[in-house]
Amino acid sequence: MTEVVVVTGASGGIGRAVARAFGARQARVALLARGEEGLRSAAGEITRDGGTALAIPTDVADFAQVDAAAERAEKELGPLDVWVNVAFTSVFAPFDEIEPDEYRRVTEVSYLGYVHGTMAALRRMKPRDRGTIVQVGSALAYRGIPLQSAYCGAKHAIQGFNEALRCELLHDGSHVRTTMVQMPAVNTPQFSWVRSKLPRHAQPVPPIYQPEVAARAVLHAAAHPRRREYWVGGSTVGTLVANAVAPGLLDRYLARTGYRSQQTGSADPAGRPENLWAPADRARDYGAHGEFDGQATPRSVQLWASRHHGLLAAGGGALAAAAVAAWRRIRSGA
Ligand SMILES: NC(=O)c1ccc[n+]([C@@H]2O[C@H](COP(=O)([O-])OP(=O)(O)OC[C@H]3O[C@@H](n4cnc5c(N)ncnc54)[C@H](OP(=O)(O)O)[C@@H]3O)[C@@H](O)[C@H]2O)c1
């Protein structure tokens, strides 16, 4: 039977790549976001590849809209198998340049949007005792960086609520799974449409990965949700390990480098669109990729290793056993 999958933030960026990847596997995909141009194009891509797509314009900050979207997805596509939370927004600015209403909006979309999606999914999955929820996270779910305080707060909050929920599901002996995928910098439209008060154009901090790398990680996590968390990209591993070992050192490093590394050399074009209160794609489909195709890599060796860690462990074990056997033969003079 084909899977029924809901993806929030499916009109652009990582969500769009995730929806497309599920569609290519013939899943029946419900696409949630606000931008109707992006939703229409995303649905077109999926149906052209032979998948089934249902675009449902939804603001994830509003639980009633999210719950109604879940209801419609079940009615038109069937019982939910997988729910992927991806939708987000932010304000790129120093903390003291962000207004209270902007902070609230980022939190309502980027944190509560995930809570709403999870609630809508659980209400339907728990009674059936099956289903998987994937939270698309970030290295910044553990490590705050300058100019992104509202976003980092939301990502840390998701990490916390998801961990608590996971404990509860384990306590209940539920077969509903939740897992989180911590992403590295990805080439998506966010750097063109997230509200920015920076003097220069925002950019992802290299190394930059293509959204298809993120999508492969999400599909793998959805198929193997017993693992609590996935880290994608060597930069995510490096950041999370360094932060666990020497967070104070990282504070100083990021204070020195974090402003420069998050901006290009040029200013934003005047009157560029913003997606904080309303979608930015009314006149144009932004797609999955951002402006950094020239710098972004379509592969991650670390992701491959993480997906095949059983194989690598077995290979490493076999190599170690062979080395010990060879050493014993040499010592015994055989
Ligand atoms: N790109 C990166 O470097 C990076 C790194 C680490 C983690 N991530 C994570 O990956 C996820 C996606 O990031 P991205 O870079 O792909 O973002 P993006 O390109 O900005 O796309 C964001 C998506 O969320 C939707 N969205 C925004 N506000 C919404 C709202 N109120 N209701 C419903 N949908 C809304 C947007 O569509 P509409 O505007 O049409 O609604 C769009 O589809 C985020 O959770 C982010 O934390 C990204």
66-214-26 Cα angle (round to 5): 65
How many Å lie between the centroid of ligand 1 and the Cα of residue 34? 11
Per-residue model confidence as pLDDT tens digits over 58-105: 999 999 999 999 999 999 999 999 999 999 999 999 999 999 999 999
- Tell me the sheet residues that pair with 7: 31, 84
How many Å lie between the centroid of ligand 1 and the Cα of residue 170? 29
User: Has residue 317 got a pLDDT over 60?
Assistant: no
Residue 213 beta carbon below 6 angstroms from any ligand 1 atom: no
Ligand 1: which of 60, 84, 190 to mutate, judged by most atoms within 8 Å of the beta carbon? 190
Around Cβ 160, how many Cβ atoms within 10 Å? 12
Residue 17 beta carbon below 6 angstroms from any ligand 1 atom: no
| pLDDT category of residue 306 using cuts at 50, 70 and 90 | confident
Ligand 1: which of 188, 216, 292, 300 to mutate, judged by most atoms within 8 Å of the beta carbon? 188
**Calpha distance 11→287 (Å, rounded):** 7
Residue nearest to atom 32 of ligand 1 (CA): 59
Q: How would you label 119-131 residue by residue, b for 16+ Cβ within 10 Å and e otherwise?
A: ebbbebbeeeeeb
| pLDDT category of residue 106 using cuts at 50, 70 and 90 | very high
Q: Report the chain's mean pLDDT, rounded to a whole number.
A: 94
Concatenate the DSSP letters of all residues of 197-266 into one string: --SS-B-PPSSEE-HHHHHHHHHHHHHSTTSSEEE-SHHHHHHHHHHHH-HHHHHHHHHHHHHHHTB-SS
Per-residue model confidence as pLDDT tens digits over 255-296: 999 999 999 999 999 889 999 999 998 778 999 999 999 999
Per-residue model confidence as pLDDT tens digits over 214-245: 999 999 999 999 999 999 999 999 999 999 99
| pLDDT category of residue 321 using cuts at 50, 70 and 90 | low
How many Å lie between the centroid of ligand 1 and the Cα of residue 325? 52
Around Cβ 2, how many Cβ atoms within 10 Å? 15
How many Å lie between the centroid of ligand 1 and the Cα of residue 16? 9
Establish whether 230 is a catalytic residue: no
What are the C-alpha distances in Å from 44 to residues 17, 39, 55, 156, 173?
Answer: 13, 9, 10, 34, 40
User: Has residue 313 got a pLDDT over 90?
Assistant: no
Residue nearest to atom 42 of ligand 1 (CA): 9
Residue 134 beta carbon below 6 angstroms from any ligand 1 atom: no
| pLDDT category of residue 319 using cuts at 50, 70 and 90 | low
From 114, 142, 151, 230, the catalytic residue: 151
The alpha-carbon radius of gyration of the chain (Å, integer) is 21
pTM for this entry: 0.93
Q: Is 184 left (phi over 0), alpha (psi -120 to 50) or beta?
A: beta
Task: Give the per-residue pLDDT at 316.
Answer: 54
Q: Could you give all domains of the chain from N- to C-terminal order, each with its CATH number?
A: 4-299 (3.40.50.720)
How many Å lie between the centroid of ligand 1 and the Cα of residue 87? 4
- Locate the ligand 1 atom nearest the alpha carbon of residue 278 and give its number: 39
